[in-house]
Amino acid sequence: MSYLIKPTAAYKPLLDLKQTELAIKQVKDFFQLNLSAELRLRRVTAPLFVLRGTGINDDLNGTERPVSFPVKDMGDQVAEVVHSLAKWKRMTLADLNIEQGFGIYTDMNAIRPDEEIGNLHSLYVDQWDWERVISKEERTVDFLKDIVRRIYGALLRTEYLVCEMYPQIKPVLPAEIAFVHSEELLAKYPTLSPKERENTFVKEHGAAFIIGIGGALANGEKHDGRAPDYDDWSTPASNGFRGLNGDILVWNPVLGQALELSSMGIRVDKDALLRQLKLTSQESRLELYFHKRLMEDTLPLSVGGGIGQSRLCMFFLRKAHVGEIQASLWSNETRKQCAEIGIPLI
């Protein structure tokens, strides 16, 4: 079922279609170079699909169905279009023998047929997937915050570039990103839903990193779902809470709500993997290829995440719908609704 969030005011794109196509390339080129320099990442080529049954594909919230197909030349083994490359990247760090303090990034393209399609979600997903080797001592909230600040610095520079090239676009990002744990959000806004908590906090601060997503909170509920075998959402941290992962969100003035740009975090070590598989009753995954490699110490400790390319462009170019940035499938009803309020879908 499709849904449409109406802009907060009468909507007219600040860039026409030709300007938009040019600006998309400018934003993507500039941001990925800045991200690469900030985190010391080299670009690598990534797969569009992986074999089923290896444990390599990302399970997201655990309910999404991957697009799959039999491979004739491989005895009809089933391949799956990736949801993301969270686990593939970590294996690539090991296979390329990347040193501590360095990492990789790639253009990840995915198909997510179970997405609830709307302004922010499409069947087609494009993001920069990145991963960096870390030490045992760097598995801390303070190190995680440092990485977030570096990414946010790249976001600030990209916004400056866009506003210089297109003066009709005005800057909105604050100089600093705010940090808050999901438990703190629950305590601060106990009567609100997780999304309402995000909106309230991000509207006040302009940009925020919400820490600790995937584990049960004090009220017994999760802030949001995470698979048990990539982000570490269960390790006790120095701030008294659990979790070494989180989301980067910014305030979207066009839609009047928080916009998630990145899901990221320090990845599970062996202890966290065992703990999280037990918490989710998925110990059987230990027999899968990725999980065996992790338990056998053939994968490095790492931090990583994904940054939405179309969402980033949508935000910086002040667009009301992701369909103004990427070519995807939209229902006739969605196209009609968008046309009525001045949203030109590609």
Q: State residue 63's pLDDT score.
A: 63
Report pLDDT digits (tens) over 112-154: 888 888 899 899 999 999 999 999 999 999 999 999 999 999 9
Is 310 catalytic? The answer is: no
Is 260 catalytic? The answer is: yes
**Options 32, 36, 263, 276, the catalytic residue:** 263
Is 16 catalytic? The answer is: no
**Residue 93, pLDDT above cutoff 90:** yes
Higher pLDDT, 64 or 316: 316
Report pLDDT digits (tens) over 22-34: 999 999 999 999 9
* Range scoring the smallest mean pLDDT among 84-88, 176-180, 211-215, 258-262: 84-88
Q: State residue 265's pLDDT score.
A: 97
Report pLDDT digits (tens) over 256-304: 999 999 999 999 999 999 999 999 999 999 999 999 999 999 999 999 9
Range 298-324 average pLDDT: 97
Q: Residue 137: which residues within 8 A CB-CB, separation 6 or more?
A: none
Band (56; pLDDT cuts 50, 70, 90): confident
Q: State residue 64's pLDDT score.
A: 73
Band (59; pLDDT cuts 50, 70, 90): low
Q: State residue 61's pLDDT score.
A: 55
d(CA 73, CA 150): 45
Query: In the structure encoding, which two tokens stand for residue 248, read together?
Result: 């980067």
pLDDT mean across residues, the chain:
93
Q: State residue 2's pLDDT score.
A: 60
Q: What's the topology of domain 17-340?
A: BirA Bifunctional Protein; domain 2 (3.30.930)
Angle subtended at Cα 138 by Cα 304 and Cα 264, rounded to the nearest 5 degrees: 20
**Options 38, 115, 224, 260, the catalytic residue:** 260
Is 114 catalytic? The answer is: no
Q: State residue 54's pLDDT score.
A: 82
Would you kindly state where each structural domain of the chain is located, as residue ranges?
A: 17-340
Q: DSSP characters for 79-147?
A: EEE-S--HHHHHHHHHHTTPPTT-EEEEEEEEE-TT---SSS--SEEEEEEEEEE--GGG-SHHHHHHH
Is 19 catalytic? The answer is: no
Higher pLDDT, 111 or 295: 295
Contact 272, 232 (CB under 8 A): yes
Report pLDDT digits (tens) over 218-229: 999 999 999 899
**Options 32, 127, 262, 326, the catalytic residue:** 127
Higher pLDDT, 109 or 146: 146
Report pLDDT digits (tens) over 69-83: 999 999 999 999 888
**Options 32, 36, 58, 232, the catalytic residue:** 58
**Residue 55, pLDDT above cutoff 90:** no
**Options 112, 132, 226, 318, the catalytic residue:** 112
**Options 247, 285, 302, 310, the catalytic residue:** 247
Neighbour order of strands in the sheet with 302-308: 41-43, 103-111, 124-133, 302-308, 257-266, 245-252, 207-211, 178-181
Range 332-345 average pLDDT: 92
**Residue 62, pLDDT above cutoff 80:** no
- pLDDT-above-90 percentage for the chain: 81
- pLDDT-above-70 percentage for the chain: 98
Task: Give strand pairing partners of 233.
Answer: none
Q: State residue 240's pLDDT score.
A: 83
Is 183 catalytic? The answer is: no
